[in-house]
Amino acid sequence: MLVANKYFPRTDFLPLKPWINPSMADYKAPVQEMSFVLNDLFDVQSLTTIPAFAEATPDLVDAVVQEAGKFAAEVIAPLNRQGDIQHSRAKDGAVTTPDGFKEAYSLFQQNGWTSLAQDPNYGGQGLPFTVHMAASEFWNSANMSFALCPMLSAGGMDVLMAHASQDLRDKFLPQLVSGEWTGTMNLTEPHAGSDLSSLKTKARPDGDHYLLKGQKIYITWGEHDMADNILHIVLAPLEDAPAGVKGLSLFLVPKYLVNEDGSLGDRNDLSVVSTEEKLGINGSPTCVMSFGENQGAVGYMIGEPGQGLACMFTLMNHARLEVGLEGVGLSERSYQDALDYAKQRVQGRDPESGASTTIIGHPDVQRMLMQMKSMTDAMRALCFDASLSHDLRSHAEDEQVKAYHSVKFALLTPIAKAWCTELVNEVTSLGIQIHGGMGFVEETGVAQHYRDARITAIYEGTTGIQANDLVGRKLVRDSGQGFAALMSEMRATLDDFSHDEQSKAQFAQHLDRLQVTADFILNNNSQSASFEGAVAVNFLMQMGYVCGAWYHLRSFMAADKSTGDAQFNQAKKLAARFYVAQVLPRASAHADAVEHGAGIGVELSEAAFV
């Protein structure tokens, strides 16, 4: 539904059926929850001791969170349903976004939301990445299709800051930081998905730049009408590069060339061929892009020849964490809608009194709602713990602190990306279940959350790819040292937790089992080339559930200590107890699948599928 507000007054788009409550499409940013996570759970205020974040005072951070929530609810959320139905469309080499998107992005850019965590030397506000993540969750809850555009731009800023020459940074970063221009990521080709070793797009030197020819597919926001220029970050080998990933280089290819004075010049030799018809995120254009149909698309190398994949991982690691956050945002939105519906839908009788009741009075609906809430809380904490490590690995003054959080960020990123995006598919499905038949009706909006969520487990490397990264690179390659450090953190929480003996005992049991499973992998990974792939997803899911319990115990302690809203604090403690009792036991099943199922996993081959 398109809700009337001061920015977008139209209300006649796809009128709702009379039995559907229009308030169900409203979104309220969980500002109180975000304040608890930032201040009570993770003490983001401690970052002000780092010179780079000295101005990120609690008052400033609270103001940013409040305004981000307001903007998400009032400007972006009302366009979510419209974007889903209207789609972005390609015609004659241009893409038209759904009604209201262009105006919303203009307000987004003018209000400085693209620059929150960016370098002040290029017009950024210099706030912690963790604060940017708070706003980003709100954008994704409100309208994931819209949020994908600034998310990709932020990744482009990261890769330029980390790897581009000073000339390239000076020429392209200010307008990217300000949001006047947007960014994309171009990896996939029709014949090459996650395996990038066989890319056919080629680049050849031409004076002070390169000329690129080839085609890329699944390019999110590859063409649109919301910004003056689009900066494509393109992975491609040089014409004479060696085969495989070691021959890949990274290029910045602008839609419009940029003159020496910073003004826009000629249109570059690139174009949109088409946009994809998709299951969800219909408001965002997913483009087939053609580079160099004529003389060649002008591009500028980022980093050194042959270092393209290493440079691209700067962007991809940013994107992977933010895709995990997409799972949080959509889970939160689905939970809000389900809770609102459960409080209004009268059906059946209260099991205690026998009186007519709304469905929230039924124990099974309460179970589903608390499952949605407790999972969302755990997912959120995981993403914000990773983002805090990102801030510390980048800006802490103590080198040991930086090194520790560099390892921790690397360890948590594949879990945040994969576990959160697997769970969001379950959470949004529960949202439909609570609505019953109403959930299967598109006008309520909850089916859109389910459809939008499905891409998240595929984006930026599937769950299997993230799990292989976790096991192969983050566990086995360093002989479990990073894992051991994280286990020490979790055991310290266990030692400190004395608030609920049953929850403590259950967490201790699953923490011990996680160590057993990790040791099993470390001791057996060399037995077969297929071993790591056969156990990886189950280990990642086990680790995700155990980490979720860790964050819930920490939340319990923070809520118990808090002198704030008593009802809110009690709800946090109930959610923690529910998660440990009813969600954490899943970890044991995944442990069994690793420890007792590795053999059959390795044994499988193509011949098994007839």
Residue 72 in tokens: 């998400």
* Catalytic residue from among 460, 595, 603, 606: 460
Burial of 133 (0-12, 13-18, 19+ CB in 10 A): buried
Strand partners, 95: 90
* Residues listed for the chain: 610
Dump the DSSP string for 152-214: HHHHHHHHHHHHS-HHHHHHHHHHHHHTSEEEEEE--BTTBSS--TT---EEEEETTEEEEEE
| 60 residue type, one letter | L
Q: Find, among 293, 287, 238, 302, the residue nearest to 267 by Cα.
A: 293
Q: Please say whether the dihedral angle defined by the alpha carbons of residues 537, 540, 545 and 548, taken in this order, is positive or negative.
A: negative
E strand or H helix at 298: strand 297-302
Rounded distance, CA 120 to CA 18, Å? 51
Q: If 0-12 CB within 10 Å is exposed, 13-18 middle and 19+ buried, where does residue 464 land?
A: middle
CB–CB of 202/241 below 8 Å?
no
442: left (phi over 0), alpha (psi -120 to 50) or beta: alpha
> Does the annotation mark 33 as catalytic?
no
352 three-state secondary structure? coil
Phi, psi of 199 (to 5 degrees): -65, 140
Residue 238 is given by DSSP the state B
Residue 262's alpha-carbon distances to 174, 259, 449, in angstroms, are: 10, 5, 41
Integer angstrom CA distances of residue 393 from 288, 329, 413, 466, 550? 36, 25, 13, 21, 22
Decide: 390 and 409 in contact? Cβ < 8 Å.
yes
Question: CA–CA separation, 237 vs 308, rounded Å?
Answer: 8
Residues involved in catalysis: 460
